Amino acid sequence: MQEKLKQAYGNYVEGDRFWDREKDIELLINKLDEGAHILLAAQRRMGKTSLMQEVKRQLSSRYLCLFVDLQKAASAEDAIVDISLALKPHNSLWNKTKDLFANALNKLTDTVEELNLGEMGIRLRAGLTSGNWSEKGDSIFSILAGIDKPVLLLIDEVPLMVNRILKGEDFRITRESRARVDQFMSWLRKNSLLHQGKVRIVLSGSIGFEPILRQAGLSATINNFQPFDLKPWDEEIAAGCLRALANEYGIHFKDKAEAVMAKRLGCCIPHHVQMFFSHVHDRCKRRGRMDFFPDEVNDIYENEMLGIRGHAELTHYEDRLKLVLGFEIYPLALEILTETAVTGCLGRQALAALQKEYEFAQSSAREAEEEILRVLEHDGYLKAGKGGYVFASHLLQDWWKKRYGLFHVPVLERGI
């Protein structure tokens, strides 16, 4: 029987919408079974959250699996609330958790179960202060370690939260903010070591963790987490995914059009493969002809992938980059990316010339440039090529060029 795959909806995919990654999952599960803590890293939209959710699904009979999203958390207290709420579906654990928050909940014992998750979060948050969160957090870890199953704690968007604590609204790292990050990371580290073998932790996020911890001078706090890199699909796997999607939706790829699509992407980031398919699908449906040929690929790429939805995607990338780099040095990052998109390769000379055009209050232009390149390389925007930096993904490069390239004069051609 031909394999079929449903299109993604919502943020992540799992189960019958999840394609491939068998090897990654096997490797990851082996490491978890051995008791390892994992730092799951990859370029944006590679499927980190999906991988966590799929592993959670596959392990749920052997492990107690908890998924926590810290996207909105702005403090250690918020994180403890989010971790506590993840216990709510598990009755006996939830009862013990409620005991920890007895003061904040006691007046409401009768009605507590009627509160929705948001209201419950507010109640729990009211019971936490900068003086007691770590102790309550320790108790939650003890509760988890006390059950008769191994526990898998999957925490997404930790770097976003840490970044927020570190830089606040004005993107300034202060001694106090650094101390707050240190406290949180040390607390996590302590518990991960204390309960090793009982509780496994997987950390991930849409921005890289290492560059942020480095900014805080706290890189060592995660050195007991094993890095796990998620790579793009190769062209064959991407083409297989496209075929399975086509089978589900009655589209007929002719003359290996799906292979041409994968080749056109170059770097097959799962989200981009899905986007490409959804444009093909919409086109076929609209015109009422379900055959799709290789000579139609370019048109979809140029007009749909690089069209208005591509712009929306790019905005998402830019917002995240701004968060990591801060508004002061972000313009240099933008120019570095535009220069690379337009010229194809960013060499030493161009980098030196760009430095001369910027001045910052907080750091020298050289330091800022090094910092930016570290982030861009770590988060998979750029990679080191033969003569300098190049884009890791053609699509991202094309998006960037289309959005910013039109009036960009390459730095080495200026003033000539």
User: Under the rule (CB under 6 A), what is the footprint of ligand ATP?
Assistant: 8, 11-13, 18-21, 42, 44-50, 206, 270-271, 274
CB of 20 to ligand ATP, least distance (A): 6
CB of 199 to Mg ion, least distance (A): 22
Token pair, residue 309, equals 């939805």
**DSSP structure string for 366-397:** HHHHHHHHHHHHHTTSEEE-SSSEEES-HHHH
CB of 322 to ligand ATP, least distance (A): 15
Q: State the maximum Cα–Cα separation within the chain, in Å, rounded to a whole number.
A: 77
Nearer CB in complex with ligand ATP: 71/174: 71
Of ligand ATP, Mg ion, none, which one sits near residue 88, judging by CB under 5 to 8 A according to partner kind?
A: none
Of ligand ATP, Mg ion, none, which one sits near residue 264, judging by CB under 5 to 8 A according to partner kind?
A: none
CB of 273 to ligand ATP, least distance (A): 7
CB of 35 to ligand ATP, least distance (A): 25
Closest CA to 137 of 165, 97, 177: 97
Per CB under 5 A, residues contacting Mg ion are 48-49, 206
Q: Which positions ≥6 away from 306 have C-beta within 8 Å? A: 398, 399, 402
Name the residue whose CB lies closest to Mg ion. 49
Of Mg ion, ligand ATP, none, which one sits near residue 378, judging by CB under 5 to 8 A according to partner kind?
A: none
Token pair, residue 202, equals 């997987």
Of ligand ATP, Mg ion, none, which one sits near residue 8, judging by CB under 5 to 8 A according to partner kind?
A: ligand ATP
Query: Which residues are 69's β-sheet partners?
Result: 156
Name the residue whose CB lies closest to ligand ATP. 47
Of Mg ion, ligand ATP, none, which one sits near residue 137, judging by CB under 5 to 8 A according to partner kind?
A: none
Nearer CB in complex with ligand ATP: 335/377: 377
Of ligand ATP, Mg ion, none, which one sits near residue 19, judging by CB under 5 to 8 A according to partner kind?
A: ligand ATP
The answer to whether 354 touches 411, Cβ cutoff 8 Å, is yes
CB of 320 to ligand ATP, least distance (A): 8
Nearer CB in complex with ligand ATP: 45/96: 45
Token pair, residue 225, equals 């987490």
Strands 64-69 and 151-156: what pairing?
Answer: parallel
Nearer CB in complex with Mg ion: 230/337: 230
Residue 334 φ then ψ, to 5° = -60, -45
Local structure of residue 409 (DSSP, 8 states): P
Local structure of residue 47 (DSSP, 8 states): S
Nearer CB in complex with ligand ATP: 20/369: 20
Local structure of residue 201 (DSSP, 8 states): E
Of Mg ion, ligand ATP, none, which one sits near residue 221, judging by CB under 5 to 8 A according to partner kind?
A: none
**DSSP structure string for 254-274:** -TTHHHHHHHHHSSB-HHHHH
CB of 51 to ligand ATP, least distance (A): 7
How many angstroms separate the Cα of 60 from the Cα of each of 51, 53, 79, 279?
A: 14, 10, 23, 35
Nearer CB in complex with Mg ion: 50/338: 50
CB of 229 to Mg ion, least distance (A): 15
Token pair, residue 281, equals 């699908």
Nearer CB in complex with Mg ion: 39/246: 39
Nearer CB in complex with ligand ATP: 39/144: 39
Rounded distance, CA 172 to CA 177, Å? 9
Q: Which positions ≥6 away from 283 have C-beta within 8 Å? A: 292, 296, 300, 304
CB of 110 to ligand ATP, least distance (A): 39
Of ligand ATP, Mg ion, none, which one sits near residue 167, judging by CB under 5 to 8 A according to partner kind?
A: none
Q: What is the dihedral of CA 90, 91, 96, 99, to 10 degrees?
A: 120
Of ligand ATP, Mg ion, none, which one sits near residue 21, judging by CB under 5 to 8 A according to partner kind?
A: ligand ATP
**SS3 helix, strand, coil % of the chain, rounded to 5?**
60, 10, 30
Nearer CB in complex with Mg ion: 48/200: 48
The answer to whether 165 touches 184, Cβ cutoff 8 Å, is yes
* 3-state SS class at 51: helix
